[in-house]
Amino acid sequence: MNIEEYNGIFFLDGKFSQVADILAVEIPLSIAVNEVPFTVTMQTPGDEKNLVRGLLFTENIIRELRQSLIIDVTKTNEDGFITSVNVTAPAEIILKDFAGTRNVISSSSCGVCGKTSLDDLDCAPVSNTAILDAALISEMFNQVSAKQKAFQQSGGTHAAGAFTIDGIMLCIQEDIGRHNAVDKVIGFLINNNLLEKTKCITVSGRISYEIVSKAKAAGIPFLASVSAPSTLAVDFAQEAGITLMAFCRKNKFTVYSNPHHVITNQINLITGKANNKTNVKKFK
């Protein structure tokens, strides 16, 4: 179980009362590659193999899609939750930028922890000729919401969903961390040969740089959230060729980058270049 019951004190109308609440579990997961420490990430227990596969992919450690990886559990805690894993992979598929130096804590709220510079950022845009029907956005979030079992019980997890251009759900994953949920989705897609079919990722939390970078690494051209984006997320999404949609609530949303890839039933939102070009910052 990735949820637990905790006692608490509830305050309402000037009165206190004792309650038992369901909370999302958060534990550290240590990841090693060929027994060399790589990182420690805070996560919600469950789907660790998908999380590790997706994390190594989006961090440009192992980009080979056809190679199966051996992911062994090396430690569990007293509750039986996995706290340490080792990934065994052929040396030739491990990219040279991995030297066992990312041995830092990556919190569940910040997927970019441990990074010190954007200097090596690859800004080649995602290839995209698809047009997404705006009417599908609300239905995508409805599908994800209906399957957020941990959130329904705890109110403490994020969710990410993967969809085809026609709004068909391919995967949903939950985690206490936004970026972990996205990594779990990408890992699932890789492990089940569904990455090429995926055109849109939805997330339940705010969109910051690291979420956009993961979508770009996976080559997914549409990114949608119920919450707000950061300025860096919008700038990067614009240059990365990603159509970023935020505040997706109650049949409404705002497009912040590459809006010409989104249509309504009545009219193309925009033909040509994005209208926020002056806000774009170059990543060089």
Q: Which are the catalytic amino acids?
A: 110
Pairing of strands 3-12, 222-225: unpaired
What distances in angstroms separate CA 25 from CA 2, 151, 156, 181, one per listed residue?
5, 12, 9, 14
| b (16+ CB within 10 A) / e for 230-265 | bebbbbbbbbbbbbbbbebeeeebebbbbbbbbbee
| Backbone angle region of 207, left / alpha / beta, with phi > 0 → left and psi within -120 to 50 → alpha | beta
Nearest-angstrom CA–CA distance, 167 and 24: 29
For residue 16, give the amino acid letter: F
Tokens (6 digits) for 192: 């089940």
Q: CB-based burial of residue 139 (10 Å sphere; 0-12 exposed, 13-18 middle, 19+ buried)?
A: middle
Angle, helices 209-217 vs 48-58, to 10°: value is 90
* CB-based contacts of 25, cutoff 8 Å, min separation 6: 1, 2, 3, 4, 44, 45, 81, 176
